[in-house]
Amino acid sequence: MAITKHAMTRYAERIAGRDELIDINIYIAQNEDKIIDDINKMCEHSELIYTGKVGNRDNNPVNVYLSGTWIILTDLTESKVITLYKVELYVGEEFNKQFIQKNLDKLAEDKKILEAKRAEIAEEKSAYLEIIKSNEDLINEYRGTIKMLERNNTDYKDAIESMDARCSKAELAVKRDIEALVMRREF
């Protein structure tokens, strides 16, 4: 897995204990292979605990891994490590582990609730999708009926025009008769 510059910097700060930017950059330059190897080993021995958006400011979904008391964030394709940090509450390692375990227990319970909600919603969605499908079938049927009625109306309009055309011929004959009569008289 590729390791971002940010993740290497965090490694140098948080694992190698470098504080100053110059010390961090020197450590990364001298130990890049070790950093990459160590982070990849952490990833190999980690557990995926979440995939999605984390925090309010970050819009990109990530994979969240837990390796002991370390959190590792990767991109969704798991091709690069974005950052890593230790869960540190500053009251001892045992308390950190208990804190993590309690949160993992709560996470497991909340995931069960989420799955139950998803199953419940899936049933509702399925019912609505059936109704939508039925409505679409009816709409298509009505469209077919509307097209047939429109064709019928067009045919009837053509028939009316044809009837009018037959009357026109007789009207023309009457008009010629009148013209013939009127033309013969002088005013």
State whether 26 and 46 are in the same domain: yes
Q: Using a cut of 0.85, tell me whether the model's pTM lies above it.
A: no
Per-residue model confidence (pLDDT) at position 185:
52
State whether 101 and 149 are in the same domain: yes
pLDDT tens figures, 22-47: 999 999 999 999 999 999 999 999 99
Q: How confident is the model at residue 184 (pLDDT cuts 50, 70, 90)?
A: low
Q: How deeply is 74 buried, as exposed, middle or buried, from its count of CB atoms within 10 A (0-12, 13-18, 19+)?
A: buried
What φ, ψ does residue 168 adopt, rounded to 5°?
Answer: -60, -40
Asked whether the predicted pLDDT for residue 187 surpasses 70, the reply is: no
Per-residue model confidence (pLDDT) at position 128:
96
Alpha-carbon distance of 34 to 19, in angstroms, equals 19
Angstrom CA distances, 69 to 47, 103, 133, 162, stand at 11, 12, 50, 90
Full domain range(s) for residue 16: 2-86
Phi-psi sector, 72: left (phi>0), alpha (psi -120 to 50), beta: beta
Total domains present in the chain: 2
Name which residue leads in pLDDT, 66 or 90.
66
Mean local confidence (pLDDT), 156-185: 84
Asked whether the predicted pLDDT for residue 77 surpasses 70, the reply is: yes
State whether 178 and 151 are in the same domain: yes
State whether 62 and 145 are in the same domain: no
State whether 26 and 70 are in the same domain: yes
Alpha-carbon distance of 119 to 57, in angstroms, equals 30
